[in-house]
Amino acid sequence: MLPPYARAAIEQLLQRQRALEAESFRQRALLQEWILSQLTYKALYYRYSGQSPEAPRSELMHEKDQVRRRIRDQLQAGGDHEAILGEQSRSLSRP
């Protein structure tokens, strides 16, 4: 028979393990959703830009790099990601 303090310690450890398992599952689901989102965006980008992964058009790659730099700079300056996304969609050279 275990003393009450040992039982309480074991129960706390089991609760912590269950919480960690739930958090791990949540993080894994978020990662899978992020990967799906990125692959979807990439597939649509290639489809509508007329590019292929093997031979990207240099002007579009240059524009992508510029947009990426602007977004990174704004995020590092503390910009809100929703506002940045809205601003970037209005500033694209093509619809």
The 10s digit of each residue's pLDDT in 3-45 is 999 999 999 999 999 999 999 999 999 999 999 999 998 888 8
Can you give the pLDDT at residue 95? 44
Q: What percent of the chain has pLDDT over 90?
A: 40
What are the angstrom distances between the C-alpha of 66 and each of 52, 56, 88?
20, 15, 11
What angle in degrees, to the nearest 10, is found between the helix axes of 81-91 and 58-76?
150
Residue 67's closest CA among 48, 49, 93, 44? Answer: 93
Alpha helices in 50-92 (DSSP H): 58-76, 81-91
